[in-house]
Structure 1
Amino acid sequence: MTIADEPLPTTPSTDDLLAELREARAQRDEIAAEIERDGEQSVQAVADAVGEATRLFHRYEDSATGTGDFEAYLEFQSQFAELVESLPEDLPEREGFETANEAVDQRTISESDFERAREAIAPAGEIADLLDRREAARERVDDAERAVTTRLSAIDRRLDELADLRRLGDADLSAPTEDLTDPIERYDDAVREAFDDYAESTPVRDLLDLIETTRLYPLVEFERPPDDLLEYVRTQAVGEEPLPTLLSYAQYSGSKLSHYVEDPTAFETTVPVHRTYLDRIDAEPLTVGSPPPADRLEHLAAELVAVVGRFADEETVALARDLESLARREGYDRIRDAVVAEEELTPEQREALKNGEYAAEEERLREDRARLEQALED
């Protein structure tokens, strides 16, 4: 096993995250206050008016200016005047629209008239922009809060790692670690031998059926057989051959293969393409390795008994069954900590435990977590 030991990145810092959250919220509140000053409906009405005025400018500026299309000139003046007349008397910055209308209410309209009209409604445009600015400010707050939440999750992960490291640092290295490692090693050796014998002698269809069955046992992590390969060995006579024979056939030429299988084409399009999968089949998913936590070992052992009992002798099954009892042994976790500490703690980690680096880091992280949690609640 590997001891997780990944300190948090130094950037952005907790101070940076909190500063961004404060600034984002202040910006959001400032914009909300500006909208509230004029009223949501009034701001929306201004935005609609600015949008319509801008549309008219864009549509008619080229055709209604100078000696352009006289009909377009009349349409523009009429539509812009109607727009201004339709605006409520108390609409914020209504005067700007009236000034804009005066700018374009000429016998001929020039580009400079359009420019003066645009400048006249610019203050109204700033009010209209409040809606987009509010949306952007809300997104900024959401992003800032999400960044804080992400950092809190990372802090919790790191605190869990530090707790594991401190526990291992406190491990009793005089504990009888062989009481755990020896039974597991005996079982692992036995199941490897039993599975190798089984894979070399049993029909490959039975081997793949066994592996397929382990889908019912999630802690026994075999890679499931490809569907087409499983179907092939179940329905073809060559499925009666053991795995080594099937792998040797996969190296034969088509003419040679025809002496050993009924349908060489079906074989060549099914078996060789899954050669990598077949080569990787071994007993490792059935082994335990370094002692896992007691509750996992107990559940794993129960699944191993069910799976190993399908192909191994009773002695190997009994060794798997002994693991269930081992997981329930008093002091298992204490001894396991000693095993992991002996096997996995690096000299640097031992030194960090000794000089209090991890303890100081934990204290800093707890302080940061409290500040970040409080900021989200505010």
Structure 2
Amino acid sequence: MTSTRTDAAGAEGDEVDDLVTELREARERVDELESRVEEVGQSDLERVADAYNGATRLLDRYEDRATDYDDFEGYVEFQEAFVDFVEGLPEDLPAREGFEDADETFQKSRLNEEDFERAREHLSQPREYASLLSSYREARQRRSDAEHAVRSRLRDLESRVDHLERTLALGAADLDAPIEELHEPIEAYDEAVREAFEAFKREASAREVFALIDVIGSFPLVDFREPPTRLREYVESSEAGEEPIPKLLEYADYSASKLDHYVGEPHELKRHVATNRTYLDRLSAEPLTVGWPPPPASKLRYRTREYEAVVRRFAPEGTVAALRDVRRLAADPAWYGDLREAAHAVTELDDEQRSMLERDAVEPALREAGAKRDRLREALDAG
């Protein structure tokens, strides 16, 4: 196993070396070509490359016809096309004389393959410019790809470092601490508030439920999603709003003719309720639960204070009492904090993390990942 881990670490190290080397070489290649490009000017290189590509297209297109003695029309068509092409080139085009010399090659009564070869030789300077531009573009793309690969690997390593640092922090917790002293009262309250809200949603009118959500809006730590505007308006103005939400959802499944026996304007109910089924189905007490592992003591105190102002409006006293029991857990921040850290450790640590902690392998892995991360950062910054 040790050999396997060593081999894996070595392979990963080689990968980082390869990425850094590729980035350095790609940047050096761009710098090398950039100085040559600047001597001519990139815009001029682009003009010459466009002209060269246009000329070679004409040569490739007409060579067979222009050198065929039986295709006089092709010969004339090519000569006219090439003359027009060269005459249309800007006077200040770099290496323009190469195009002119190529044109001179074709000013004869008959053409053969050697004429086209000579013409291509005359275009050697424009071809070099076009090749330089192409190489420069390829080098820039290579540099971009190399930088992208380094950034991608860097993100992986940064995530790895964060994960290992979190593992170390969790490993400092007492995994044998009596976390049930937190878990049991929190679980009892969360279950109670869920049941109380489901009963309220099942028995109260939709209008009453929406009125409660309106009140909840004044408590910033209770994150209930407000009902869609048109659904709210329908519930507030229609007689159907006096029905509980489950009944409205049941009605929405009825046919229009059957629904006509239960509510006025059945199409309006379907239009507003059926289209908002997801919102109504998902409406629950989750924003009022504490969750596990629990938040820090200060947040727990603030949240439970706001929770109580809401919960007492729809839940029985037993649920409110359970919430107060939860708030009292935060009365001793040190005790609560230790148990909370233990709860996070027990919940978050997976088998691999536990194994690394048992083998004291986290810190070496963290140092290695951090060194690779720093090397990639330096490679990027060096550009």
SS in 2 for 1:311: coil
SS in 1 for 2:342: helix
Partner Cα distance (1:358, 1:190) in 2: 41
Gaps of 5+ in 2: 1-8
Do the aligned partners of 1:291 and 1:297 also contact (CA within 8 Å) in 2? no
* Pairwise CA distance, 1:140: 2.5
Residue of structure 2 in register with 1:192 after alignment: 194
Gaps of 5+ in 1: 1-7
* Pairwise CA distance, 1:322: 6.5
Do the aligned partners of 1:64 and 1:76 also contact (CA within 8 Å) in 2? no
Residue of structure 1 in register with 2:379 after alignment: 375
* Pairwise CA distance, 1:362: 1.1
**Any residues of structure 2 matched to 1:223-238 within 5 Å, and which?**
224-238=226-240
Stretch moving more, 298-307 or 53-62:
53-62
Residue of structure 1 in register with 2:73 after alignment: 68
Partner Cα distance (2:128, 2:221) in 1: 62
- Go from structure 1 to structure 2 and tell me whether the alpha carbon gap of 1:177 and 1:240 turns closer, same or farther (over 3 Å shift): same
Letter in 1 for 2:132: L
User: Cα deviation per residue 1:228-252 (whole Å; 9 max; x = unaligned)?
Assistant: 4333322210111122333443454
* Pairwise CA distance, 1:156: 2.1
* Pairwise CA distance, 1:142: 2.4
- Go from structure 1 to structure 2 and tell me whether the alpha carbon gap of 1:325 and 1:15 turns closer, same or farther (over 3 Å shift): farther
- Go from structure 1 to structure 2 and tell me whether the alpha carbon gap of 1:43 and 1:171 turns closer, same or farther (over 3 Å shift): same
Q: Is the counterpart of residue 304 in structure 1 residue 268 in structure 2? A: no
* Pairwise CA distance, 1:210: 3.7
Residue of structure 2 in register with 1:333 after alignment: 337
Letter in 2 for 1:68: E
* Pairwise CA distance, 1:276: 4.9
SS in 2 for 1:271: helix
SS in 2 for 1:292: coil
- Go from structure 1 to structure 2 and tell me whether the alpha carbon gap of 1:71 and 1:274 turns closer, same or farther (over 3 Å shift): same
Partner Cα distance (1:124, 1:238) in 2: 81
Residue of structure 2 in register with 1:242 after alignment: 244
Do the aligned partners of 1:222 and 1:285 also contact (CA within 8 Å) in 2? yes
Stretch moving more, 149-158 or 31-40:
31-40
- Go from structure 1 to structure 2 and tell me whether the alpha carbon gap of 1:259 and 1:25 turns closer, same or farther (over 3 Å shift): same
User: Cα deviation per residue 1:146-191 (whole Å; 9 max; x = unaligned)?
Assistant: 3322332332222222222222222123544344324423432332
What is the CA RMSD across the aligned residues, in angstroms?
Answer: 3.9
Do the aligned partners of 1:162 and 1:362 also contact (CA within 8 Å) in 2? yes
Aligned residue among 245, 261, 264 for 1:262: 264
Partner Cα distance (2:187, 2:209) in 1: 24
Residue of structure 2 in register with 1:159 after alignment: 161
- Go from structure 1 to structure 2 and tell me whether the alpha carbon gap of 1:275 and 1:82 turns closer, same or farther (over 3 Å shift): closer
Stretch moving more, 44-53 or 336-345:
44-53
SS in 2 for 1:246: helix
Partner Cα distance (1:231, 1:297) in 2: 35
* Pairwise CA distance, 1:363: 1.6
Do the aligned partners of 1:62 and 1:68 also contact (CA within 8 Å) in 2? no
Letter in 1 for 2:115: D
Do the aligned partners of 1:21 and 1:141 also contact (CA within 8 Å) in 2? yes
Aligned length: 368
* Pairwise CA distance, 1:347: 4.1
Residue of structure 1 in register with 2:6 after alignment: none
Letter in 1 for 2:354: R
Over the matched positions of the two proteins, sequence identity in percent amounts to: 44
Q: Is the counterpart of residue 149 in structure 1 residue 154 in structure 2? A: no
SS in 2 for 1:13: helix
Residue of structure 2 in register with 1:363 after alignment: 367
Residue of structure 2 in register with 1:137 after alignment: 139
Residue of structure 1 in register with 2:3 after alignment: none
Aligned residue among 345, 352, 355 for 1:351: 355
Partner Cα distance (2:259, 2:82) in 1: 89
Q: TM-score, normalised by structure 1?
A: 0.78
Residue of structure 2 in register with 1:4 after alignment: none
Partner Cα distance (2:110, 2:29) in 1: 44
Q: TM-score, normalised by structure 2?
A: 0.77
* Pairwise CA distance, 1:44: 4.9
